[in-house]
């Protein structure tokens, strides 16, 4: 995907605050958990060693604020889960209560972290770490009865199932929201009748293409297109015939232009086309192809035609004067009899 892609930007908006909040919660919760355990319970592990995992957790918090690319979220989350599990193990080791005292902490971690795993591989890795890294070491090193082992397995299975349900819901919800956003963005960017860019989207994208042409010192041309006698068509045959004619014009413009050309509906029956890399001769040839293609159309039993004004960028550094020159050339084409291409001076 291009960087930053729309998908990554959407993930940053949704997941960024969640990931950073969970990292802060992991750091603060671990300190509270460790210090509270030191005040209320005896442990065979020194307090400084039990506090040590708080340092990498704090580093992960800092990284979560510095590296805000969604591709880093999975690695940050897995690292946080691993350090939490290791820290919980240190707090549970050499305690009279053993595994049971640590069981709530082991259950909370996979459930709390489940919203941030968008990749199945990350979720599986987090589940393995949560279920095995800390608890398994504690089971192996600390004597535990069958009842403790059963409780661990029972609660951990419940925790992982709940985490999987929450994770699946989160992933599906984000996907649905992104799809709705894309549909709304498409409606805002594409003219529904003609299928070409709306005026606002065309002007935005055209300014970017103009900037690229200036930076690369490459030619760029603009076509201003207007349907001939469109008002007569509307008055004589109704707006349905006019809409059909505009829809057909939009289709012809899309089909007869290159993939990197930009076409937009400026207003009413007027269209603008940006032709990156084309000089005057090539732009005129492209305009003639469009004019001839439209002449093959018929609407309400009558042939259609268009007039086109062509302007090639000279020293313009903004889009408005270039469009104005193309518009003036279009006016000249109208005065010259319509159904023709006119070059700007």
* Residue range 178-193: mean pLDDT, rounded: 70
Give residue-wise pLDDT tens across range 98-134.
566 666 777 778 877 777 777 788 888 888 887 777 6
* Residue range 211-222: mean pLDDT, rounded: 90
pTM score, whole prediction: 0.51
For the domain bounded by 199-343, which CATH number is listed? 3.30.70.270
Can you spell out the DSSP letters for 202-270? Answer: HHHHHHHHHHHHHHHT--EEEEEEEETTHHHHHHHH-HHHHHHHHHHHHHHHHHTS-TT-EEEEEETTE
pLDDT value of position 221 = 93
Q: Predicted confidence band at 274 (pLDDT cuts at 50, 70, 90)?
A: very high
In whole angstroms, what is the distance from residue 113 CA to residue 131 CA?
13
Domain boundaries of the chain, sorted by first residue: 6-187, 199-343
pLDDT value of position 1 = 35
* Residue range 90-98: mean pLDDT, rounded: 70
In whole angstroms, what is the distance from residue 100 CA to residue 281 CA?
82
Active site residue ranges: 269
């Amino acid at each position: 995907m291009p960087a930053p892609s729309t998908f990554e930007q959407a993930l940053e908006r949704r997941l960024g605050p969640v990931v950073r909040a969970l990292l802060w919660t992991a750091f603060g919760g671990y300190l509270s958990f460790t210090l509270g355990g030191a005040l209320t319970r005896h442990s065979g592990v020194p307090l400084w060693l039990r506090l040590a995992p708080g340092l990498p957790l704090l580093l992960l918090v800092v990284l979560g604020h510095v590296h805000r690319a969604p591709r880093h979220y999975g690695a940050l989350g897995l690292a946080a889960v691993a350090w939490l599990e290791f820290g919980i193990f240190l707090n549970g080791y050499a305690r009279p209560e053993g595994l049971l005292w640590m069981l709530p902490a082991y259950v909370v971690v996979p459930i709390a972290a489940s919203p941030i795993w968008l990749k199945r591989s990350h979720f599986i890795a987090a589940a393995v770490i949560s279920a095995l890294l800390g608890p398994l070491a504690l089971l192996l090193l600390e004597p535990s009865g069958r009842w403790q082992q059963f409780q661990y397995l029972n609660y951990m299975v419940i925790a992982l199932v709940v985490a999987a349900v929450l994770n699946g819901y989160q992933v599906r919800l984000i996907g649905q929201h992104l799809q709705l956003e894309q549909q709304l963005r498409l409606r805002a960017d594409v003219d529904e009748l003609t299928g070409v860019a709306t005026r606002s989207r065309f002007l935005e994208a055209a300014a970017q293409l103009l900037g690229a042409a200036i930076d690369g010192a490459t030619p760029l041309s603009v076509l201003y297109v207007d349907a001939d006698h469109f008002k007569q068509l509307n008055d004589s045959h109704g707006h349905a015939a006019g809409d059909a004619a505009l829809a057909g014009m939009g289709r012809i413009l899309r089909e007869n232009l290159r993939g990197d050309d930009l076409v937009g509906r400026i207003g009413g029956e007027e269209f603008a086309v940006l032709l990156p890399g084309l000089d005057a001769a090539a732009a005129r040839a492209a305009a003639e192809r469009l004019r001839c293609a439209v002449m093959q159309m018929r609407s309400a039993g009558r042939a259609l035609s268009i007039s086109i004004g062509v302007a090639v960028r000279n020293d313009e550094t903004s889009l408005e004067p270039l469009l104005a020159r193309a518009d003036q050339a279009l006016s000249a084409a109208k005065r010259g009899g319509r159904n023709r291409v006119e070059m700007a001076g």
